[in-house]
Structure 1
């Protein structure tokens, strides 16, 4: 397919997303099934256009004068991919699969100046969330929002139980991986421009042998900051598919014991094969059956709560969720998080550590949640993040990452990672 055909296809996919209210991944898969003539490069390019359109939806709509799939897709090509209106119209005229020629308004949108546009437009964020994001980021919220419109890198973590970073890098040399800036066992492959394809590393021999896992550097960092030690008893209370369980096992050198639990049986399903492939021997999976964790009450050294959240830190990867978020969903997640913190505390022994993690950048799910919890529990205190950082990452904590309540926030703008929040709490006598 040539560019005009890819543009037309992206408009169709984005229209499907809008009309059927379904995830982008599902709409792209459905389009591919119905258009089997399209090659892998075509599908990747179409996906790039659709995701780029949703990441920058607010600013593209403002520039192009409309919020339609056509306007957003053309906005990506003109403003993001750098095609000129004249060249694009020439391509359209020569291709029977092309959309209609650009209108005068669409041509003007290619160079529209948004410097005086409303703050939420410049930041490409939902307008109703601006007060919350200003609390989180202060005057930097526009830069933080803009960073969330970029494409994420593909990050992997070398599994120290089976391989070194150097061994993994050699196995993936054809993709020219680079060392991550912070995570000690991480490698990264930055996203390319325009129609660049993301490397498919899960077919690599090293992946199949358990040498590495796909894991955002931010997730690797908070997994390291959890501070799990060799020989400890650790409860991963929201283990899901097991990404952090695997990282904890490697940190612990396959010693001690990790109890991997999740209240949703379907989320937990992939963990069994992943544990086997990674060579993890110190993890027990606890399915959500009655009394599954009863004997652990008051006996655990470290409880990791990777809490259900709005996922605002993953907007680069799931940009459609940015525009679907509601106050009701935030309230639901807050209720779930508060309940999990209460539950987690019951499992800790005196002197144990509660590790609270979200992939959200909203203070309502992060500092606010922890402040309320500490206020209502005299036997809980915050562990200094600077100390935890030095122990886990053997360096000084970079400036600007600590939150007012003593947690830590990673973001695309600050650390070139997904957005993650972590707070460490110690149970006192």
Structure 2
């Protein structure tokens, strides 16, 4: 397929997403199934246009003063593919599968917008209602921070130190362009793709099948490292989900001690069993029944909460979620987080640690939750997060926003990771 056919397909997918309010992954999968003539390269390029259009939706719509699938797809090429209106129109000439080229009105709108200053929410590529949330979280840097959440993400991997080490995995993946991460001690990073490129299918690598590495954002890896799980500990991963942090904790503990992986929604635990087998983690027990977890009350050295949240820190990877999110959903998440914190505290033994993590950058889900919890639970105290970060990641404190008493924020702009929040509390003896 030429650019014109790919552009037309992207417009079709964006229209499907808008009309049927569908997740982008589902819409792209269905398009591929109904257009089997499209090769892997075509599907990747179409997906790139669609994802770029959703990441940059506000600024793409601004360019043409229109929020149509056509405007978003053309805007994506102009903003992320180093195209110009002239280069796009030339590429569409003679392509019977292409959409109509940019017309005089569109070219005039584009020229006028280029000469003007876009509003802050447009430059940040966010819904208007999120502006005060991000400004409260990031202060004067909020536009740049939000803009970084609209960029293409890298592909991050975590080396499973139970079975391999970073130099060995780097050698295995040399052709992918992987390099050691700057923060995570066992991380590898494959840089963001450009244009119509695509990331390598690392899960097809023999080294992945052998359990030598997992796909995991560097920010998630750092959060697991900050949790400071040690060999011999008794650990409860209270919202384990698919088990990414569970496996990272098992490696940090060198298979010594015990990790109990639990999730209130059993279906979320489904992937963890194959991942445990492949990783050679032997100190993990999966507990799906509430009665099984209840027996752990007051016995845990470490309780980790990877709390359900808005996912605002993952907007680079899930840009459609940015536009589906509502204030009502934020309120629901905040209530869930408060309830989980209250439930999880019962499992922490005196002198033990309660760790709270989200993949959100909203202060409402992060610092505010910790402050509320501490006010209501005087038997818990905040750790010194500046000292904790400096101890676990020496010389890297400038890579995060650290509130000594309330927690640590990682972000694409500051840390080069997805957006994460981490807080650690200790139970008084």
**What is the TM-score with the length of structure 1 in the denominator?**
0.97
Residue 81 (structure 2) pairs with residue 81 (structure 1): yes
RMSD of the TM alignment (CA)?
1.3
What are the equivalent positions in structure 2 for 1:188-337 lying under 5 Å apart? 188-287=189-288, 289-337=289-337
Q: After superposition, what is the alpha-carbon deviation per residue over 1:342-378, rounded to whole angstroms, capped at 9, x for unaligned?
A: 1111000001000000000001100011100000111
Cα separation, 2, equivalents of 1:396 and 1:70:
43
Conservation of the 8 A alpha-carbon contact between 1:367 and 1:405:
no
- SS of structure 1 residue aligned to 2:286: strand
Which segment drifts farther, 271-280 or 120-129?
120-129
Q: CA deviation at 1:9?
A: 0.4
Cα separation, 2, equivalents of 1:8 and 1:117:
27
Cα separation, 2, equivalents of 1:297 and 1:97:
63
Cα separation, 2, equivalents of 1:211 and 1:380:
38
Q: CA deviation at 1:396?
A: 4.9
Q: CA deviation at 1:308?
A: 0.3
Which segment drifts farther, 102-111 or 4-13?
102-111
- SS of structure 2 residue aligned to 1:422: strand
Question: Structure 1 pair 114/198, CA: closer, same or farther in 2 (3 Å)?
Answer: farther
Cα separation, 2, equivalents of 1:290 and 1:224:
27
Cα separation, 2, equivalents of 1:399 and 1:9:
40
**Structure 2: gaps spanning 5 or more residues:** none
Conservation of the 8 A alpha-carbon contact between 1:302 and 1:352:
yes
Cα separation, 2, equivalents of 1:240 and 1:375:
29
What are the equivalent positions in structure 2 for 1:111-130 lying under 5 Å apart? 111=111, 112-113=113-114, 116-130=117-131
Conservation of the 8 A alpha-carbon contact between 1:210 and 1:278:
yes
Cα separation, 1, equivalents of 2:277 and 2:80:
43
**What is the TM-score with the length of structure 2 in the denominator?**
0.97
Q: CA deviation at 1:93?
A: 2.5
Q: After superposition, what is the alpha-carbon deviation per residue over 1:249-299, rounded to whole angstroms, capped at 9, x for unaligned?
A: 000000000000001111001101100100000010001x24121211000
Q: Which residue pairs with 1:379 in the alignment?
A: 379
What are the equivalent positions in structure 2 for 1:72-221 lying under 5 Å apart? 72-111=72-111, 112-113=113-114, 116-221=117-222
Q: Which residue pairs with 1:6 in the alignment?
A: 6
Q: CA deviation at 1:64?
A: 1.2
Conservation of the 8 A alpha-carbon contact between 1:411 and 1:420:
yes
Conservation of the 8 A alpha-carbon contact between 1:75 and 1:109:
no
Conservation of the 8 A alpha-carbon contact between 2:183 and 2:396:
no
Conservation of the 8 A alpha-carbon contact between 2:410 and 2:418:
yes
Q: Which residue pairs with 1:21 in the alignment?
A: 21
Cα separation, 2, equivalents of 1:338 and 1:243:
23
Q: CA deviation at 1:106?
A: 2.3
- SS of structure 2 residue aligned to 1:4: helix
Q: After superposition, what is the alpha-carbon deviation per residue over 1:208-256, rounded to whole angstroms, capped at 9, x for unaligned?
A: 0000000000000001001101100000000000000000000000000
Q: CA deviation at 1:76?
A: 1.2
- SS of structure 2 residue aligned to 1:296: coil
Q: Which residue pairs with 2:39 in the alignment?
A: 39
